[in-house]
Amino acid sequence: MEDLPKSIAIVYDRVNKLGGAEKVLMALHEIFPTAPLYTSVYDSKKAPWAKIFPAVVPSFLQRIPFLKDHHEIVPFLTPIAFESFNFNQFDAVISVSSADAKGIVTSPHTFHFCYCLTPTRYLWSHFSEYESSLSYLEKIISRPIFSYLKKWDLIASRRPDTYVAISHTVKDRIKTYYHQDSQVVYPPVEVEFFKQKSEPIQPPPPNDYFLYVGRFVPYKRLDVVIESFNQTGLPLVIVGKGGISWGVGLFESKLRKMAKSNITFVGSASPDYLRQLYQGCQAFIFFHEEDFGIVPVEAQAAGKPVIALNKGGATETVIHGKTGILINDASVTALTNAVKSFSKSNFDPKFITTHAQLFSKERFMEKFAKVFRQEWKTFKSTYTY
């Protein structure tokens, strides 16, 4: 690409899983194929996708046992880890961050472009939820840690030369918590893959099922979804598995115990099987606030409407009455009523699929490259070599 820095590095919070943010990194690799990837910890077994990068450079935390999978137990060390990197050999660094990667220290001649997934969730927008999940003793112990991390996060928030947000929801948070302006570039979704028809690779779930896809962590409110479908008795298929959230502990066993027989857990799903599940469902359930939310767009790419909470990223990807239903009330009763009254005949699959094209990977790559080039030119014009 013309008019771009000669040497670029990419920085990400941690490389030990596969999710929406990791798909951003893979798309960025297509734009900047020679850029190495820097991170706090790297688990090559859980993140084999990262092998596409010419190099993955972890911090000193990599040498501490167990931290590749349990970074949350030492949140006060990750800021130091990112500050320890030296990027003097690069003209530009792109940080992709929902936590500490934005806190890297760069020299005045190195351009720092932050693609912000959200200001650190457990410190700002969802701090009260995280704190309420802690026991009294955990709260006492964690208060000085939270205080330190908030102070550091505010300092770190001033280090990028420019911010780009993944959604208008995140743009507003960046302004509220970091007092920084930003542009919006929606993250990439594999729209073409999920719209392609394919032969079933596994037996189909029950007829007229609804679908949920996501990690089993408390803020995604899967317990509310399960309670609602316990009441309706309608079939619900759940794709995902348990996770550990700092101060919360394992969540999956609780969910499985509370679910009635009309609810099916299928665990992890291959991309092909996930596409089959999207294309076979009545509607997709997304009843929590997300920074953007890639899975509702994947469902729409498959031509399926989304029943979503009218909050966060869903407000930007779901058109009420056209590509889904947006619910203002976050209660079990509100979701139950919406599911009971839902009729797939009210929605046009072709319109839904066309709408999903607005969030394709191709559009992301085109817009990201354009914004990056513009911001790089601005940086060069204001910095004297």
Q: Are 195 and 280 found together in one domain? A: yes
Residue 300 lies in a domain: yes
- List alpha helices for 157-270, DSSP H: 168-173, 191-195, 222-232, 252-258
149-194 residue pLDDT tens: 999 999 999 999 999 999 999 999 999 999 999 999 999 999 999 9
**247 falls in which pLDDT band (50, 70, 90)?**
very low
- Type of residue numbered 205: P
Give the other-Cβ count within 10 Å of 70's Cβ.
14
Please tell me the pTM assigned to this model.
0.90
State mean pLDDT over 91-101.
97
Residue 238 lies in a domain: yes
Q: Kind of pairing, strands 244-245 and 249-250?
A: antiparallel
- Number of C-alpha atoms within 13 angstroms, CB side, residue 201? 12
Type and span of the H or E element at 128 = helix 127-132
- Residue 15 is given by DSSP the state B
3-class state of residue 380 by DSSP? helix
State mean pLDDT over 96-123.
96
Q: Are 238 and 251 found together in one domain? A: yes
Contact 233, 259 (CB under 8 A): no
pLDDT at residue 217 in the model: 83
User: Token pair for residue 373?
Assistant: 């080039």
Residue 234 lies in a domain: yes
pLDDT at residue 136 in the model: 82
Residue 143 makes CB contacts below 8 A (sequence gap 6+) with none
Q: Are 218 and 136 found together in one domain? A: no
- Whether the pLDDT of residue 244 is over 50: the answer is no
304-359 residue pLDDT tens: 999 999 999 999 999 999 999 999 999 999 999 999 999 999 999 999 999 999 99
Contact 341, 321 (CB under 8 A): no
- Type of residue numbered 180: Q
Residue 2 lies in a domain: no
User: CATH number for the domain including 314?
Assistant: 3.40.50.2000
Q: Are 365 and 342 found together in one domain? A: no
Separation between Cα atoms, residue 306 and residue 288, nearest integer Å: 12
Residue 1 lies in a domain: no
Q: Are 218 and 274 found together in one domain? A: yes
> Which residues is 57 bridged to in the sheet?
38
Residue 127 makes CB contacts below 8 A (sequence gap 6+) with 146
261-278 residue pLDDT tens: 999 999 989 999 999 999
Separation between Cα atoms, residue 264 and residue 284, nearest integer Å: 15
Separation between Cα atoms, residue 106 and residue 150, nearest integer Å: 21
Contact 325, 308 (CB under 8 A): yes
- Whether the pLDDT of residue 2 is over 70: the answer is no
Q: Are 200 and 179 found together in one domain? A: no
Phi, psi for 280 (deg, rounded to 5): -95, -10
Residue 3 lies in a domain: no
User: CATH number for the domain including 79?
Assistant: 3.40.50
Contact 350, 295 (CB under 8 A): no
pLDDT at residue 128 in the model: 85
3-class state of residue 255 by DSSP? helix
Region of poorest pLDDT, from 71-80, 218-227, 295-304: 71-80
Q: Are 159 and 267 found together in one domain? A: no
User: What is the number of domains present in the chain?
Assistant: 2
pLDDT at residue 250 in the model: 62
Closest CA to 264 of 286, 284, 235, 228: 235
State mean pLDDT over 364-383.
94
Contact 113, 372 (CB under 8 A): yes
State mean pLDDT over 107-136.
90
- Residue 175 is given by DSSP the state I
Q: Are 163 and 283 found together in one domain? A: no
Q: Tell how far CA 124 is from the center of its chain.
A: 16
Q: Are 149 and 214 found together in one domain? A: no
- The strands making up 92-97's β-sheet, listed across from edge to edge, are 56-58, 37-39, 8-12, 92-97, 111-116, 162-165, 183-184
- Type of residue numbered 256: R
Q: Tell how far CA 11 is from the center of its chain.
A: 16
Q: Are 231 and 139 found together in one domain? A: no
**Domain hosting residue 322, numbered range:** 191-358
53-87 residue pLDDT tens: 999 999 999 998 877 777 677 788 999 999 999 99
Average model confidence (pLDDT) across the chain: 92
pLDDT at residue 131 in the model: 80
Distances (CA, A) of 99 to 71, 149, 286: 12, 10, 24
Q: Are 98 and 183 found together in one domain? A: yes
Q: Are 260 and 303 found together in one domain? A: yes
Separation between Cα atoms, residue 108 and residue 112, nearest integer Å: 9
Is 142 exposed, middle or buried (CB count within 10 Å of its CB: 0-12, 13-18, 19+)? middle
State mean pLDDT over 214-239.
94
